[in-house]
Each structure stands twice: as structure tokens, then as C-alpha cells.
Amino acid sequence: MAERLAAGQPFPTTAINLSDGGAMTLPDDMADGYKMIIFYRGSW
């Protein structure tokens, strides 16, 4: 399991799949301003 981020620690580079079939790399694709990310786990 990944370690939790500490206050002030940068977000690690992570590639995620989008619901529209695209992909984005965090935090690089969010460099142009503030954004909100919602992680929805669904039903497992």
C-alpha cells in the first residue's frame, strides 16, 4: 500500500483513466489552475 502524503509533500506523478476513455497524468495535466478530483470507488 502506498504511503500517505505529509503536509507540503508534492503529489506523486500518477496516470489515471478518465470516464470518457481518455487519460491524464497528475499533477502535470492540472498545472494551469485549481481543480477538484473525486475518487469514486463504486461497488466492489
Predicted local confidence at residue 28, as pLDDT: 85
Predicted local confidence at residue 41, as pLDDT: 76
Count Cβ neighbours within 10 Å for each residue of 12-29 and write b for 16 or more, e otherwise: eeeeeeeeeeeeeeeeee
Predicted local confidence at residue 44, as pLDDT: 67
User: Which residue from 44, 43, 40, 33 is spatially nearest to 19, judged by alpha carbons?
Assistant: 40
Instruction: Please give the model's pTM, rounded to 2 decimal places.
Output: 0.50
* C-alpha cell recorded at residue 15: 496516470
Predicted local confidence at residue 23, as pLDDT: 92
What beta strand segments (E) does 1-44 contain? 14-17, 23-26
Q: What is the pLDDT along the chain (44 residues), one digit of tens a residue?
A: 567 888 888 888 889 888 899 998 988 888 787 777 777 777 76
Q: Percent helix, strand and coil across the chain, each rounded to 5?
A: 5, 20, 75
